[in-house]
Amino acid sequence: MNLVVHGGEARSCAIEAIAAARAGDFARADKLMSASSDALMAAHGYQSRQISAEMSPEGGRAVSLLMVHGQDHLMNAITTHDLAVQIIGLCRQLSGNGILTPQVDGGMRAGEAGMS
């Protein structure tokens, strides 16, 4: 269950971080990405312990459905986290160049300098 919980937390924090970056709140985006990283590390620690336990001679070789479900959550969280890093970087770059400016609703709009 820890993989599901920590994986879900990591993914949620990364998605919230993207929204914060789109709104121009990069300090909040950074804080949320740090929380996402922490949750990923916690999930990875649990994953390593669980794999070791399942592979030990006394642990048998059966893989539980919950472990498979947790792995799915973790993989999605890792992918979302990695993409969030890139999206936030892009928001920073576009914001710094005046191409995109934050809107109240959390979205971004084209600025004077570029995109229409």
User: For residues 84 and 80, what is the distance between their CA atoms, to the nearest angstrom?
Assistant: 6
| Catalytic residue list contains 69 | yes
Instruction: Tell me if residue 110 falls in helix, strand or coil.
Output: strand
Q: What is the DSSP string of 58-88?
A: TT-S---HHHHHHHHHHHHHHHHHHHHHHHH
114 pLDDT band, cuts 50/70/90, is very low
Domains (range + CATH), the chain:
2-109 (1.20.58.80)
pLDDT digits (tens, 9 = 90+) for 18-65: 999 999 999 999 999 999 999 999 999 999 988 888 777 776 667 788
pLDDT digits (tens, 9 = 90+) for 80-112: 999 999 999 999 999 988 887 776 555 555 443
The active-site residue out of 6, 44, 69, 81 is 69
pLDDT score of 99: 82
Instruction: Tell me if residue 105 falls in helix, strand or coil.
Output: coil
User: For residues 46 and 40, what is the distance between their CA atoms, to the nearest angstrom?
Assistant: 10
